[in-house]
Amino acid sequence: LKAGYLSRIAAASDEAALEELRLAALGKKGEISLKMRELGKMSPEERKSAGPALNALKDEIDAALRAKKAALADAALDERLKAEWLDVTLPGRPRPAGTIHPVSQVTAELTAIFADMGFQVAEGPQIETDWYNFDALNIPPEHPARQEHDTFFMARAEGDNRPPHVLRTHTSPVQIRAMAQQGAPIRVIAPGRVYRMDMDQTHAPMFHQVEGLAIDRNLSMANLKWVLEEFFSAFFGVKVATRFRASHFPFTEPSAEVDIQCSWIDGQLRIGEGDGWMEVLGSGMVHPKVLTAAGVDPDEWQGFAFGMGIDRIAMLKYGIPDLRAFFDSDLRWLRHYGFSA
């Protein structure tokens, strides 16, 4: 009996087989348990010799079962350690890293430069009411400037009486929102996306502008010129002169288009050198009607505003030839012109 159990225990290959053997020997109806029950029917003499022998057998088999169970667990652990072995000294696998888009890069650069001059960032929605995008900026419904803006209009359901919505055609509506919220004095820039129905090498239906607005008691065109020259010089890293040309915008009076100094040297466009000029933005003194529409008293406050294409100055600074490529999401282009984080 004993030899039979011990050899079967030694041969058991898993815990389930061991458990089966345990039940067969020591379970309620196990062979050894039944024998122990028979002790009661024996004479005291017989019991004296059979009792200790049975107890010893039971202990021995129990011990053999436990030892085998521990051995199986050890073997399983060895197996796992071998299978899951990991060399922590191996070098890491390289992961492809993305790049920062030139528009994001330039937005961060110009935000930092204007922040140094006390301008905070203001924001507004890309889907605007035509009041903010036009009326409040002194562009009434019949004004020809509305046609010039090539506006995307939001479709409206029959019977929808809410004010008409457009995709903002410029960042100037943020002037109104910022002044209405913060009042005067105020100094903000508003970078963001704008939309116009236009598409060629220098125009995309979505592009980026940054609006600038400064309102105080005594601001003039001279302050505007200083701020812009300070900005362009910091942005391009060389002293850049600006040239103001008289222009017209409904929301500024007087208005000026601003050129920066540049020239072609050895087939390369050099900003801040030579006697050439390139137009980069529109600007002027904020029209009294615009101040009034935003709840600012034009008898007490005055200031300047400007609007500039972010993609445009990114192309100039980093020598990017085609505006449309900005928005193609071509990974090769992004790796070439993108910035590492």
Among positions 218-247, residues that touch ligand PHE (CB under 6 A) are none
Distances (CA, A) of 148 to 100, 199, 255: 33, 14, 17
Give yes or no for residue 192 binding ligand PHE (CB under 6 A).
no
Residue 277 or residue 339: which is nearer to ligand PHE going by CB? 277
By CB neighbour count within 10 A (0-12 exposed, 13-18 middle, 19+ buried), where does 88 fall? exposed
Extended strands (E) in 92-170: 120-121, 127-129, 165-167
Give yes or no for residue 134 binding ligand PHE (CB under 6 A).
no
Size of the site for ligand PHE (CB under 6 A): 10
Binding piece for ligand PHE, criterion CB under 6 A, among 51-59, 82-90, 179-187, 278-286: 278-286
**Cα distance between residue 318 and residue 339, in whole Å:** 11
Q: Among candidates 313, 331, 337, which has minimal Cα distance to 106?
A: 313
Is 253 annotated in a binding site? The answer is yes
- Single residue of 134, 235, 236, 249 touching ligand PHE by CB under 6 A: 249
Count of CA atoms in the C-beta half-sphere (13 A) of 233: 10
Smallest gap from residue 228 Cβ to ligand PHE (A): 12
Structure token pair of residue 326: 């900005």
Residue 242 or residue 252: which is nearer to ligand PHE going by CB? 252
Q: 3-state DSSP call for residue 138? A: coil
Give yes or no for residue 283 binding ligand PHE (CB under 6 A).
yes
Residue 61 or residue 280: which is nearer to ligand PHE going by CB? 280
Among positions 141-170, residues that touch ligand PHE (CB under 6 A) are 170
Binding piece for ligand PHE, criterion CB under 6 A, among 260-268, 287-295, 302-310, 329-337: 302-310
